[in-house]
Amino acid sequence: MCGTCGCGNGENGVSIHNPKDLKTNEHGHHHHDEPAHEHTHDGHTHTHSHDHAHAHEHDHQHAHHQKKVIEVEQDILHHNDVMAARNRGYFEAKNIFALNLVSSPGSGKTSLLERTLKDLKTEIPFFVIEGDQQTMNDANRIAAIDIPVIQINTGKGCHLESDAIFDAVKRLNITDNTVLMIENVGNLVCPSMFDLGESKRVVIISTTEGEDKPIKYPDMFHTSDLCIINKIDLLPYVHIDVEKLKQHALKVNPKLQFIELSATTGEGMNTWYDWLKKQKN
Amino acid sequence: MHELSVALGIVKIAEDETAKAGAEKVELIELEIGTLAGVDFESLEFVWPAAVKDTVLEFALKKISVLKGKAKCVDCDTVFEIQHLYDSCPECGSNFKGIIQGKELRVKALEVV
């Protein structure tokens, strides 16, 4: 809908792919030459289109031209919330533990996920939904470890919404008593507002990011249940006060739990696995 | 830039309600948005023309009531105004608080013809 603002229209922009259905890494849709989008910033031409020309001669009223006030009182994200509730009910009925993984780009979400799946796949049956604006790259990485995965490409959209999850879940054929990992679009702002129906929300932050991120982007930390601090193997090389980071995050969300780990070296991964297994049961 | 999703959500509600009322278009839309709702007002203004184009809202006047953030301290029950989600209680310094106002994001009323 609007090319310059950084967002797609959420409907035509979203596409859902199974890496097994695609032979190459190329994603299937071609970018049809986008028509220059028409931002009508130049004062919309109000051409008063009252086309009944003062029909004073007949005296019956045109009832449908009367003003009417509708007291709507409806939440704007109502549709997303309803679909999220629908997903949640489905997950609960099938005993699927669903996690929504959120973070800024580059915090190591996919690496963490890859390692987790490799280490636990014999113990826990996993399903994965990958969210990115473009490419099948992440889904291909997951498919390479033999885990059922669906890729949602949001086009210009900056977050996943619950209706796309609903469609992706249908395509995944998830079995009962499993864990569903939803890797959201790398973005620390927008995904916070959109409930996907997840059981828990996990925010990932890496030691290469600033310790004040939780108060710079409070919404995401406010809505998360667990905060994973990744890349602790880099601590000797970066200037970050992890305690301060936690303090900032706790100011925003006093109930937030923390796990420090490195998806590269494996340090701390067991704490995360214990959390996962405990929450699942 | 999730404001476009928000704007499209508003359009959907307006389209549905206008159709239900058998009306043709919206003349006035009243929104209620809290300062803690996660919506950037400037971004919403920016995406608005693109979102409402060719819809019942295209020529509608938009009125936004901004609701200030208010919280109640879990530890000492003080009710206080908050600008940020990380503001702590001015009385006892606790971070445990319930947000009682400021998260609103809703279409309050429509004036249709």
Contact B46 A5 (CB under 8 A): yes
Measured CA to CA, the distance from residue A103 to residue A224 in angstroms comes to 11
Q: What is the pLDDT of residue A23?
A: 55
Measured CA to CA, the distance from residue A139 to residue A168 in angstroms comes to 13
Q: What is the pLDDT of residue A22?
A: 72
Distances (CA, A) of B83 to A205, A210, B34, B101, B111: 24, 22, 11, 11, 32
Evaluate whether residue A94 is within a structural domain: yes
| Residue A131 backbone phi and psi in degrees, to 5 | -115, 120
Supply B110's token pair.
């429509």
| Residue B98 and residue B74 in contact, taking contact as beta carbons nearer than 8 Å | yes
CATH code of residue A271: 3.40.50.300
Evaluate whether residue A67 is within a structural domain: no
Evaluate whether residue A261 is within a structural domain: yes
Task: Map residue A92 onto helix, strand or coil.
Answer: helix
Chain B residue numbers touching A9 (CB-CB < 8 A): 4, 8
Q: Note the CATH architecture for domain B3-67+101-112.
A: 2-Layer Sandwich (3.30)
Q: H helices of chain B, where?
A: 3-20, 41-52
Q: What is the pLDDT of residue A13?
A: 76
What is the 8-class DSSP label of residue A7?
Answer: B
Supply B8's token pair.
């499209």
Contact B4 A5 (CB under 8 A): yes
Distances (CA, A) of A157 to A11, A133, A184, A253: 9, 7, 11, 27
- Domains: count for chain A: 1
Q: What is the pLDDT of residue A31?
A: 46
What is the 8-class DSSP label of residue A215?
Answer: H
Minimal-distance CA residue of chain B relative to A39: B50
What is the DSSP track for A50-73?
A: --S---TT--S--GGGS-EEEEEE
Measured CA to CA, the distance from residue A193 to residue B103 in angstroms comes to 11
Evaluate whether residue A205 is within a structural domain: yes
Q: A193: buried, middle or exposed (CB in 10 Å: 19+, 13-18, 0-12)?
A: buried
Evaluate whether residue A123 is within a structural domain: yes
Residue B110 bridge partners (DSSP): A70, B29
The domains of chain B are located at 3-67+101-112
CA A119 from chain centre, in angstroms, equals 25
pLDDT < 70: residue spans in chain B = 1
Contact A64 B23 (CB under 8 A): yes
Evaluate whether residue A110 is within a structural domain: yes
* Residue B33, min C-alpha distance to chain A (Å): 10
Selection from A197, A196, A245 nearest residue A221 by Cα:
A245
* Residue A41, min C-alpha distance to chain B (Å): 7
CA A86 from chain centre, in angstroms, equals 16
State the first-to-last Cα distance of chain A, in angstroms, to the nearest integer: 43
| Residue A248 and residue A229 in contact, taking contact as beta carbons nearer than 8 Å | no
Range of the domain at A228: 78-280
User: A201 — contact with chain B (CB < 8 Å)?
Assistant: no
User: A157 — contact with chain B (CB < 8 Å)?
Assistant: yes
Supply A117's token pair.
């799946």
Q: What is the pLDDT of residue A64?
A: 52
- The complex scores an ipTM of 0.87
Q: What is the pLDDT of residue B1?
A: 67
Tens-binned pLDDT, residue by residue, of chain A (281 aa): 333 334 444 444 788 998 888 755 444 444 444 444 444 444 444 444 444 444 444 445 555 568 899 999 999 999 999 999 999 999 999 999 999 999 999 999 999 999 999 999 999 999 999 999 999 999 999 999 999 999 999 988 899 999 999 999 999 999 999 999 999 999 999 999 999 999 999 999 999 999 999 999 999 999 999 999 999 999 999 999 999 999 999 999 999 999 999 999 999 999 999 999 999 87
Measured CA to CA, the distance from residue A171 to residue A169 in angstroms comes to 5
Q: What is the pLDDT of residue B49?
A: 96
